[in-house]
Amino acid sequence: MLPLVSTLSSGHNIDELSKRVQGILPSNDYICFCWLTRCLSTYIRLEQEKEAEKMIRLHFQMEQIIYCQDQVYNGALQKVREKEAEEEENETKLSAFTSSQSQVSQNSSMAEIFQHLDAYRQEAYNRISSHIPLIIQYFILKMFADQLQKGMLQLLQDKDSCSWLLKERNDTSEKRKFLKERLSRLAQASRWLVEFPG
Residues in the chain: 198
Contact by Cβ (8 Å): 20, 103: no
What does each C-alpha distance from 119 to 64, 84, 109 come to in angstroms? 16, 12, 15
Closest by CA position to 147, among listed 64, 37, 6: 37
What residues contact 146, with CB distance under 8 A and at least 6 apart? none
Q: Say which residue, 19 or 153, is predicted with more confidence.
A: 153
User: Both ends of the chain: CA-CA distance in Å?
Assistant: 63
Taking the model in full, what pTM does it have? 0.38
Exposure of 38 in the CB half-sphere (CA atoms within 13 A): 6
The chain-wide mean pLDDT, for the chain, equals 72
pLDDT in tens, 96-119: 554 444 444 456 777 777 877 787
